[in-house]
Amino acid sequence: YLKISKLALAFAIIHSKPPGKSSKEYTEYLAKTVSEQDFGWKWKVEVLEAEVLRLRQELLLKRISPGFCLENRKQDTSAETLLGGESINPTSYSSQLEDSGCDVCNDSAFDSLGTASDFHQSEHYVNTSKHWLEGVPPLNLCNTSKEQSLIAPMHFLQRLLEIRKLSEGGILQADFSELENDSFTICNSVSQFLDGLTVFYNSPKFPAPSFLTEGVCVLSSLITDTKLSNHVLKKCFKKMEEFKKNLIQIILRNRSVNRFQALHSVSQMLGLLGRNNILRNSLISLLLLEVRQFAEQLLHARQVQSVYDITQYENIFLLCMILEQLLQNETEESNISNSDCGGEEKIKFLKNLDQIILHLSDEFPLFSLYLWRVSVLLNSGQMQ
């Protein structure tokens, strides 16, 4: 039947083709027409799915707190305001825009990795994020722009935090056990936001809009909130881990000439995630894994006198900087001997590290120095 159908279709195309066109040209034209129709239907389906998710979000918020009234809330903060305001140090991005990307000695561009300033500023973002929870615009997922696809789930997560804040103050009655009954909505909202961030950082635009940082801070606040973390984290932990892995791979695989401003932006995002105590250890483990594997590959390439990936060698230093800063924060904020920092990856990283450093130090002194500094931080708990 399938063969007969294909043959009948071929005869129909040949019989109906206009004069002056070959059968092949006419077939390609018909295929293009059908694919354009399919694209139109896919777009309509995406819009309808977005609208369904929006309705589910609002229904979930009503179930959590029936007294939460969207209509009576302030509307003085627009989506354009969120897109236009810059929370991240604007001078950092302006200086990067003037840079060709070949010079990596820009102090302001790498200040967040060389010092703890930007990491401490992230705490400021988390604290100040509470102020814009009072005036979030209505959800509008029907807008298909990349910005709106990120803003919409962020607003839903903001509203969860707002309800939590109001319920804590006794202004609203809220039942967060409803999150257990509708895991689809919370998972889809977080997944949509993280997927949107991944798409952005694969082909970023500069200066990066501030709502990216604000959204991650909102997500971080949800994870650390005692009443919300169990509902959010356990349903979205795998997605968070996948997101962190994607950001690390974006750093390692980026080969564009003017890539350093993009990589710096991704590094800042990883730094913000690392400020969260719940996410920090798993992020440190991922970074230790990548740095260790690259060190072993570099050692093997040197031993067999083969070529190594020079671009990945340049990019690995960003991971080393992030790793060093996270370990320093871990040491400063907690007793590292009691927090199994890095876990199994820490043991693998330290195993034979002295030999690796010894063999790489002559040819790769800077990378060897970073390996040694990381090892000192990992061992600092044992020296206490």
AA identity, residue 276: N
Residue 163 counted as domain residue = yes
242 and 164, same structural domain? yes
Residue 73 counted as domain residue = no
293 and 236, same structural domain? no
205 and 168, same structural domain? yes
The total number of structural domains in the chain stands at 2
Residue 160 counted as domain residue = yes
205 and 167, same structural domain? yes
Residue 32 counted as domain residue = no
260 and 157, same structural domain? yes
pLDDT at 299 over 80: yes
> Can you tell me the distance from the alpha carbon of 219 to that of 186, in angstroms, rounded to the nearest whole number?
11
DSSP state of 226: T
258 and 189, same structural domain? yes
Angle at the Cα of 325 from the Cα atoms of 123 and 299, rounded to 5 degrees: 150
301 and 188, same structural domain? no
Beta carbons of 259 and 323 less than 8 angstroms apart? no
155 and 271, same structural domain? yes
Residue 228 counted as domain residue = yes
207 and 188, same structural domain? yes
Which pLDDT score, from 0 to 100, does residue 139 have? 40
342: confidence class by pLDDT, cuts 50, 70, 90: low
Structural domain boundaries enclosing 236 = 145-275
150 and 217, same structural domain? yes
Q: Which residue has the tokens 């977080």?
A: 190
Beta carbons of 240 and 279 less than 8 angstroms apart? yes
Residue 363 counted as domain residue = yes
pLDDT tens-digit series, residues 87-108: 434 334 334 444 444 444 444 4
Beta carbons of 337 and 382 less than 8 angstroms apart? yes
291 and 269, same structural domain? no
Phi-psi category of 343—alpha, beta or left, where left has phi over 0 and alpha has psi -120 to 50?
A: left
CB proximity list for 278: less than 8 A, separation 6 or greater: 223, 224, 229, 233
Let me know how many helices (H) and strands (E) the chain has, helices first. 17, 0
205: confidence class by pLDDT, cuts 50, 70, 90: confident
What's the average model confidence in pLDDT over 332-352?
71
370 and 306, same structural domain? yes
Q: End of a domain among 231, 255, 275?
A: 275
pLDDT at 129 over 70: no
Residue 294 counted as domain residue = yes
